[in-house]
Amino acid sequence: MTHPIVYSNIAELMTMKGLQANDGRHVGAKDLAVVKKAAFVAEKGRVVWVGRESRLPTVFRSSKRVDCQGLNVFPGFVDCHTHMVFAGDRVNEFEKRNQGASYQEIAAAGGGILSTVKATRKVSKQALVDLAQQRVGKHLSQGVTTIEIKSGYGLNPQSEIKMLQAAKALKKARVVTTYLGAHAIPSGTTQAQYLESLKRELPKIKQLGLSQRVDIFIEKGYFDLSAAKEYLVFAQELGFAVTIHADQLNRTQATQLAVALRAKSADHVICLNSKDKKRLADSETVAVLLPAADFYLECDYPDARTLIDSGACVALASDYNPGSSPTQNIEFVGLLARLQMKMALPEVFSALTYGGAKALGLEGEVGALLPGFRADFFLSNQSWEQFFYGLGGHDVFRTYVGGRKVFSKK
Ligand code: NIG
Ligand code: FE
């Protein structure tokens, strides 16, 4: 892969050029910058040239070719919020919720996050890797090439490190890890004691190179605003980027905190007032919307229209986890964004590429097919207009990460 490779015979290639210029704000179809009868060249895992095949520079004319068979090429999707490393499931809880118990009632009875903590603590690191590697395969088969994975089902130093090491051991996809030790307060401790213990762990997480990012769940019954602020500031002083599970079930003003701290993203952002929305839209903090979780929790969806129309940079992600979002189906996420949040199709593509990349601090690296970007892409016989419409799973023929084939349909 050190020599240039020409990917030719592409019906339509989505470059995302316009999103780089407008920072994923006020997105329209032209920003997807689709090139017809296209080709592109990758070298050392990065794109070095993109354009009409008829304009392929002479220097590449005798390079090795990959025939894209008249299919369409898309930049790999970025799923910027998942809890993909976990053991067990929460099928019993699902049944209870479906009979009327709330997410918070189940949590108060020792279920919810804490029940996945129990299951995850029990298994070996290798068992977590094996489970998560299969899930990565499912993401790749849908064209998702970058996956953020949070810890947060360990809630003690040893198990949190086990989760992060498992995430780091995953192959084929580009994985970004996030330390979510502050996902819930383990039984037998107070919030203050627990956050102090996490603060003692942070330098080690950094030193071991296990994560460069810190997340916290600010919510009634989980972590409160002022304690969270102190913890996040401490993390930033150590050099971590921060992100927040913000205003999901109640308005805690966590989104405003995210903006004030220049967090990479504020995620969920459902219970916002108009001032919160305006602040978020005017900021560099990405609004990460997780409609599959809202679907499963049967709660309100975020006000995507107001956020987008006010100029927010929005991302969509799966929030894949065994409790509130037990699905990896990216097509479903995009479909919900359209149906329930009235996002326009180009906005959905932007949210799953540029938005996700920016939330992870990877804009300029992934989420577009332009010179300098990673050669992360997938091939499909569907045109972009046919995405996020059906529910059978969109048709991905092949997926590449860094120019390497990581999924093939047959
Ligand atoms: O993003 N809200 C907190 N965390 C997850 C749920 C995780 C779980 O229920 O296990 C979320 O929805
Ligand atoms: Fe989450």
Q: pLDDT at position 410, please?
A: 77
Least confident segment among 98-112, 351-365, 366-380: 98-112
Crossing angle of helices 125-140 and 157-168, rounded to 10°: 40
Report whether residue 83 contacts ligand 1, using a CB cutoff of 6 Å: yes
pLDDT at 1 over 60: no
Closest CA to 246 of 176, 264, 164: 264
Residue 387 placed within a domain: yes
pLDDT at 393 over 90: no
Burial call 160-174: b when 16+ CB within 10 Å, e when fewer: bbbbbbbbbebebbb
Per-residue pLDDT tens digits for 189-247 = 999 999 999 999 999 999 999 999 999 999 999 999 999 999 999 999 999 999 999 99
From ligand 2's centre to the CA of 67, what distance in Å? Answer: 39
What residues does 377 pair with on adjacent strands? 75, 400
Co-location of 93 and 214 in the same domain:
yes
From ligand 1's centre to the CA of 312, what distance in Å? Answer: 24
Co-location of 9 and 58 in the same domain:
yes
Report whether residue 321 contacts ligand 1, using a CB cutoff of 6 Å: yes
- Strands 286-289 and 314-316 come out as parallel
Residue 100 placed within a domain: yes
Co-location of 88 and 46 in the same domain:
no
Question: Which residues are found with C-beta within 5 Å of the ion, ligand 2?
Answer: 319
Structure tokens, 227: 């304690």
Co-location of 221 and 345 in the same domain:
yes
Q: pLDDT at position 103, please?
A: 81
Least confident segment among 85-89, 96-100, 173-177: 96-100
From ligand 1's centre to the CA of 245, what distance in Å? Answer: 9
Least confident segment among 17-21, 108-112, 139-143: 108-112
pLDDT at 249 over 80: yes
* CATH code of 55's domain: 2.30.40.10
Q: Could you tell me where the DSSP H helices lie in 149-243?
A: 157-168, 191-207, 225-237
Whole-number CA gyration radius for the chain? 21
Q: 140 vs 24, 137, 263, CA distance in Å?
A: 24, 5, 28
Q: Ligand 1 pocket check: which of 81, 82, 83, 89 to mutate, most ligand atoms within 8 Å of Cβ?
A: 83
Q: pLDDT at position 111, please?
A: 86
Co-location of 43 and 83 in the same domain:
no
Q: Name the phi and psi angles at 214, rounded to 5.
A: -125, 135
Co-location of 137 and 173 in the same domain:
yes
Residue 305 placed within a domain: no
From ligand 2's centre to the CA of 104, what distance in Å? Answer: 15
- How many domains would you assign to the chain? 2
Co-location of 184 and 229 in the same domain:
yes
Residue 268 placed within a domain: no
From ligand 1's centre to the CA of 324, what distance in Å? Answer: 6
* CATH code of 133's domain: 3.20.20.140
Q: CB-based contacts of 148: which residues, under 8 Å, 6+ apart?
A: 79, 80, 81, 82, 175, 176, 177, 178, 317, 356, 359, 360
Residue 353 placed within a domain: yes
Q: pLDDT at position 327, please?
A: 98
What residues does 399 pair with on adjacent strands? 378, 407
Residue 302 placed within a domain: no
Q: In three state form, how does the secondary structure of 349-369 look?
A: HHHHHHHHHHHCCCCCCCCCC
Evaluate the CA torsion angle 118, 122, 126, 131 in order and state its sign: negative
Per-residue pLDDT tens digits for 95-112 = 999 999 988 889 888 789
Co-location of 129 and 218 in the same domain:
yes
DSSP secondary structure letters along 54-116: GG--GGGTTSEEEE-TT-EEEEPEEE--------S--HHHHHHHHTT--HHHHHHTT-THHHH
Q: What percent of the chain has pLDDT over 70?
A: 100
The answer to whether 13 and 72 have CB atoms below 8 angstroms apart is: yes
Co-location of 93 and 210 in the same domain:
yes
Co-location of 191 and 240 in the same domain:
yes
Report whether residue 292 contacts ligand 1, using a CB cutoff of 6 Å: no
User: What span, in angstroms and rounded, lies between the C-alpha atoms of 179 and 240?
Assistant: 10
Q: What percent of the chain has pLDDT over 90?
A: 96
Mean pLDDT (the chain) is 97
Report whether residue 215 contacts ligand 1, using a CB cutoff of 6 Å: no
Q: 409 vs 141, 380, 397, CA distance in Å?
A: 8, 10, 5
User: What span, in angstroms and rounded, lies between the C-alpha atoms of 359 and 249?
Assistant: 21
Evaluate the CA torsion angle 100, 103, 106, 111 in order and state its sign: positive
Co-location of 45 and 91 in the same domain:
no
Q: Taking residues 388-407, report their average pLDDT.
A: 96
Residue 29, number of CB atoms within 10 A of its CB? 15
Co-location of 340 and 196 in the same domain:
yes
Chain-centre distance of CA 235, in angstroms?
Answer: 21
Q: Name the phi and psi angles at 192, rounded to 5.
A: -65, -45
The answer to whether 147 and 174 have CB atoms below 8 angstroms apart is: yes
Burial call 252-282: b when 16+ CB within 10 Å, e when fewer: bbbbbbbbebebbbbbbbbbbeeebbbbbbe
Report whether residue 113 contacts ligand 1, using a CB cutoff of 6 Å: yes
Domain ranges, residue 225: 78-245+317-359
